[in-house]
Amino acid sequence: MKSATVPPVTIVETVLVFALIPLAIYGVIMLLTLRPKATRIPRYRPGQEWGYAPVWWSANPAGLNRAHSSEPVTVEGGRTARGGARGNW
């Protein structure tokens, strides 16, 4: 039985496989992402008219119907509830 011989790989073939083919793939991906069509998407700029309906979001949907007042709420013991950034209650 004859043993299979593998032809030697030249330096040019090595460079083509390990350098130029990956560079060509990266180049195609780069051209697809940097094409001018992608940059023509209209964007909102400050001061422009906002053409969409307002969307209201609340972390507590059940609390939306509750009346809001600026007066402090009295809790047990006659103290008033205070909140804020310092967390004083």
Range name among 9-13, 35-39, 62-66 with the lowest pLDDT average: 62-66
Residue 56 has pLDDT above 70, yes or no: yes
| Average pLDDT of every residue of the chain | 76
Q: In the prediction, which pLDDT does 37 show?
A: 66
DSSP state, residue 71: S
pTM score > 0.95 for this model? no
Residue 10 has pLDDT above 70, yes or no: yes
Is residue 80 within 8 Å of residue 72, measured between CB atoms? yes
Averaged pLDDT for residues 14-39 = 87
Q: Enumerate the β-bridge partners of residue 80.
A: 74
